[in-house]
Amino acid sequence: MGIELKKRYQLFIGGEWVDSASGETFQTTNPATGEVLANVASAGKEDVHRAVDAAWKAYQGGWRRTDAGFRGKSLYRIAQAIRDNSEELALLDSLDNGKTLNEARVDMFMAAECFEYYAGAANKLEGKVIPVFGDRLNYVLREPLGVVGQIIPWNFPLMMAAWKLAPALAAGNCIVLKPAEETPLSALRLGELISDIVPAGVVNILTGYGPEAGAPLVEHPAVKKIAFTGSTEVGRQIMAHAAAHVADVTLELGGKSPQIVFPDADLDAALEGVLLGIFYNEGQQCSAGSRLFLHESIYDNFLKKLIERSKAINVGPPQEPTSQIGSLVSKEQQKRVLNYVQLGVKEGAEVACGGKAPAAPELKRGCYVEPTVLVNVANKMKVAQEEIFGPVLCVMKWSDEKKMIEEANDVQFGLCAGVWTKDINKAHKTANKIEAGNVWINQYDVFAYGAPFGGYKQSGIGRELAFDTLLHYTQQKNVNVDLSGKPSRWF
Ligand code: NAP
Ligand code: MG
């Protein structure tokens, strides 16, 4: 399927498509070819102010008073619009990000499912009555926050937009969304699709750079909450700046998640899970199972198969149906990942396969990296401690279970973990000891709407995808009513 891109994309503010106040634009490129896809408006402080004003107006003007059931129906319509346009949206993300079209199709399915989950949840959000002393009625309302700012990364462009927008809208908030500078196109197309579904100003979309468009959004005093997905480094800055006007934050940050394989595991299943965990989405996933702990008794055999399979992965043009891994998002990201491989070698690790850009001439212009397995890794090495965010797996051998668990936990992150064993007690015991927000047992990278996703430690604050995520987009109002009809005497 072809797609006709506009030459120039604008900001979506108050239901209108407008240029940035400065008139500035930036280019978004296809990282698989280096071609410029389009010029996109680059938002700055003035645009942030306009967008927040538009969101506040839409909030006060009606969205806060809409029936939850109506908001739910609107979200179902958004889900349907994504499904009806999923091939186009998937192609946009594949072109803009470099991920395979097959992967982008999964993102569209996940995005639509997310809107459907929160569509159904919108009118299940209830307050409560508290049995307080005396002749009183005491009740708690869950009210929306007002205007929320949402800042998202480039790795799952439309899906991340869905994860943010759906619960915030369901709870009755109005939004200013900033997509990543590398991948603005699908969010803008979503803006077009939803412009007939939600009133003007309920969703505003500001494309632009983090420091110019993101930072003023975080600093704006009328923004009551910032929901952020991205790196731990930027997450820390956002938290600090939101503190200046006491705005709430939820942060979905980085990871360095362990995959633990016990000797009694179904090793074929574990191999599939390890490959998916590190190479899906070109390794650019916060949940990546990037540290593999293999028991010494299965180490040689497992590693041999892992290397064979990694070498056989088809790295190729993202839109080719046979490509299993596409391009990384940018030259910068490719360089960063390859530098980490070099660093690992300096630290004493060994490249068992991959470790470079593929040699095929037709891939030279892109930002590809071969599926890479590093062995002889020690957990204290930087390659085992820092998030590489690319297709690079660090393999470690273990024999002492207690020590292995200590090492699995010995990182600043705590997002996910994979545990592979047929022993149900061992599985639960290990899950219990792992410091991570998500533990997958005999599977990996399985996301379910309703099940909370998010991090321990420096992997973040708050949870997404769950019913409780709605609560993060509300504030409680306690109302205490005197029913006695008698004045309270204090003097
Ligand atoms: P990033 O550099 O932190 O950027 C994320 C977003 O923040 C982008 O929109 C970025 O704008 C913006 N930003 C940058 N500096 C900012 C500032 N000073 N103020 C406000 N906004 C600012 O992360 P990334 O490289 O795009 O994404 C990769 C990271 O996301 C990884 O660490 C990954 O683990 C994490 N991630 C986490 C989850 C999760 O659920 N835990 C999910 C996906 C990804 P620009 O586009 O201009 O840079
Ligand atoms: Mg791009």
**Would you kindly state where each structural domain of the chain is located, as residue ranges?**
8-253+459-477, 258-441
Instruction: Give the distance (Å) from ligand 1 centre to CA of residue 228.
Output: 8
Look up the pTM and report it.
Answer: 0.97
pLDDT tens, the chain, 491 aa long: 578 999 999 999 999 999 999 999 999 999 999 999 999 999 999 999 999 999 999 999 999 999 999 999 999 999 999 999 999 999 999 999 999 999 999 999 999 999 999 999 999 999 999 999 999 999 999 999 999 999 999 999 999 999 999 999 999 999 999 999 999 999 999 999 999 999 999 999 999 999 999 999 999 999 999 999 999 999 999 999 999 999 999 999 999 999 999 999 999 999 999 999 999 999 999 999 999 999 999 999 999 999 999 999 999 999 999 999 999 999 999 999 999 999 999 999 999 999 999 999 999 999 999 999 999 999 999 999 999 999 999 999 999 999 999 999 999 999 999 999 999 999 999 999 999 999 999 999 999 999 999 999 999 999 999 999 999 999 999 999 999 999 887 77
Instruction: Give the distance (Å) from ligand 1 centre to CA of residue 254.
Output: 9
DSSP, collapsed to helix, strand or coil, labels residue 392 as strand
Cβ(458)–Cβ(411) below 8 Å: no
Q: Which two tokens stand for residue 326?
A: 């596409």
Give the mutation target among 229, 329, 388 for probing the ligand 1 site: most ligand atoms within 8 A of CB.
229
Q: Whose CA is nearest to atom 12 of ligand 1?
A: 210
Instruction: Give the distance (Å) from ligand 1 centre to CA of residue 288.
Output: 16
Report which bound ligand comes closest to the CA of 329.
2
Given the CA of residue 232, which atom of ligand 1 is nearest to it?
Answer: 32
Q: Whose CA is nearest to atom 9 of ligand 1?
A: 180
- Please state, in angstroms and rounded to a whole number, the distance separating the CA atoms of residues 92 and 72: 27
> Do the domains at 8-253+459-477 and 258-441 have one common CATH topology?
no
| HSE value, Cβ hemisphere, 13 Å, CA-based, for 394 | 30
Catalytic residue among 114, 174, 286, 416: 286
Which amino acid makes up residue 325? I
Given the CA of residue 254, which atom of ligand 1 is nearest to it?
Answer: 34
- Please state, in angstroms and rounded to a whole number, the distance separating the CA atoms of residues 126 and 143: 10
Q: Whose CA is nearest to atom 40 of ligand 1?
A: 252
- Please state, in angstroms and rounded to a whole number, the distance separating the CA atoms of residues 165 and 218: 17
Q: Which segments of 313-412 does DSSP mark as H helices, in order? A: 331-347, 382-385, 401-409
> Could you tell me whether strands 350-353 and 456-457 are parallel, antiparallel, or unpaired per DSSP bridges?
unpaired
The CA-atom distances, in angstroms, between 238 and each of 164, 169, 228, 256 are: 16, 22, 8, 21
At 396, which helix (H) or strand (E)?
strand 392-398
- Please state, in angstroms and rounded to a whole number, the distance separating the CA atoms of residues 232 and 434: 20
Find how far residue 353's CA is from the centre of its chain. 29
Given the CA of residue 459, which atom of ligand 1 is nearest to it?
Answer: 41
Cβ(368)–Cβ(310) below 8 Å: no
CB neighbours of residue 246 within 10 Å: 8
Given the CA of residue 153, which atom of ligand 1 is nearest to it?
Answer: 26
Given the CA of residue 460, which atom of ligand 1 is nearest to it?
Answer: 41
Q: Whose CA is nearest to atom 41 of ligand 1?
A: 252
The radius of gyration of the chain from alpha carbons, rounded to an integer in Å, stands at 24
For domain 8-253+459-477, the CATH architecture is 3-Layer(aba) Sandwich (3.40)
- Please state, in angstroms and rounded to a whole number, the distance separating the CA atoms of residues 310 and 393: 10
- Please state, in angstroms and rounded to a whole number, the distance separating the CA atoms of residues 395 and 293: 6
Which amino acid makes up residue 18? V
Instruction: Give the distance (Å) from ligand 1 centre to CA of residue 233.
Output: 9
pLDDT of residue 1: 56
Burial of 411 (0-12, 13-18, 19+ CB in 10 A): buried
CATH fold of 258-441, please? Answer: Aldehyde Dehydrogenase; Chain A, domain 2 (3.40.309)
Q: Which two tokens stand for residue 289?
A: 């199972």
With the C-alpha atoms ordered 107, 112, 114, 115, is the resulting torsion angle positive or negative? positive
Catalytic residue among 113, 116, 219, 252: 252
Report which bound ligand comes closest to the CA of 333.
1
Q: What is the DSSP letter of 380?
A: T
Instruction: Give the distance (Å) from ligand 1 centre to CA of residue 235.
Output: 8
Instruction: Give the distance (Å) from ligand 2 centre to CA of residue 210.
Output: 15
Which amino acid makes up residue 152? I
pLDDT of residue 234: 98
Measured from CB, residues less than 6 Å from any atom of ligand 1 are 151-155, 178, 180-181, 209-211, 214-215, 218, 229-231, 234, 237-238, 252-255, 286, 387, 389, 415, 455, 460
Instruction: Give the distance (Å) from ligand 2 centre to CA of residue 187.
Output: 12
> Could you tell me whether strands 392-398 and 456-457 are parallel, antiparallel, or unpaired per DSSP bridges?
unpaired
Q: Whose CA is nearest to atom 13 of ligand 1?
A: 210
Cβ(167)–Cβ(469) below 8 Å: yes
> Could you tell me whether strands 36-41 and 8-9 are parallel, antiparallel, or unpaired per DSSP bridges?
parallel
Closest among 340, 319, 334, 321 to 370, alpha carbons compared? 334
Q: Whose CA is nearest to atom 20 of ligand 1?
A: 214
286 is catalytic: yes
Tell me which residue has tokens 């994860």. Answer: 163
- Please state, in angstroms and rounded to a whole number, the distance separating the CA atoms of residues 361 and 87: 29
Report which bound ligand comes closest to the CA of 30.
2
